[in-house]
Structure 1
């Protein structure tokens, strides 16, 4: 059970408090896919690329991923844009304002503190 939306099509998807109407049962549209988590993606296009104007959007939905990123966040960037992808394993967990970012920030802060202690 996840929130499913795209703020490009429905501005409510970027809200902190999501309406009940955006809740979905992932098994309703599985078509042979075993959805195992919820996902939230924040995409940013920082400058015009291939005719696409600067923009940002939030995409929430069902997902599957058996890699080491399951239940975590990661970032990607390139070609004038960047995105943060967070996945989580509880029902409707992709409704959180910043996904699992606090745990990502804690890990980064711990790494910086360790690096400073070693040098």
Structure 2
């Protein structure tokens, strides 16, 4: 029975590692060039971008994008939207993708930065909801590992 428990723990850990090893695909557009990029978001004519293929940035040598980003910006009363791969930061605020970082400035400027890496295309419109199946699987996995470690 101990061998089965060790294999189960190894499979769970491998699944967790594989999930983080894959690259992410994000929407890449600007509403000032394409009005479909705004909210409501219409991706019917856009191709999703594989962030692993995104170019290396001159000011961030060796840094690869690991998340998607959506920026909502209001400048002098006009809303603009930018969606792209994100090279730095963490998903959401303290890891919670439901929350975005908001900034205001002088001259009637407002910006909202949303970052995510929960699924491909997560920088589409609206707040992202957790996948129920993923939550249940994660809860089961943690419970199983805790059970086996206690015995």
| Higher helix fraction (1 or 2) | 2
Alignment TM-score, normalising by the size of structure 2: 0.54
Root-mean-square deviation (Å): 2.4
Determine which of 88, 91, 95 is the counterpart of 1:65. 88
Runs of 4+ aligned residues of structure 1 deviating over 6 Å after TM superposition are none
Please, which runs of 5 or more residues in structure 1 have no aligned partner? 48-53, 104-119
| Higher strand fraction (1 or 2) | 1
Determine which of 70, 81, 93 is the counterpart of 2:109. 81
Please, which runs of 5 or more residues in structure 2 have no aligned partner? 1-24, 57-61, 131-151
Alignment TM-score, normalising by the size of structure 1: 0.66
Give the number of the structure whose alpha-carbon radius of gyration is greater: 2
Write the deviation string for residues 72-96 of structure 1: whole angstroms up to 9, x where unpaired: 411000022101111111211001x
Q: What is the alpha-carbon distance in structure 1 between the residues aligned to residue 36 and residue 101 of structure 2?
A: 24
Q: What is the alpha-carbon distance in structure 1 between the residues aligned to residue 102 and residue 120 of structure 2?
A: 23
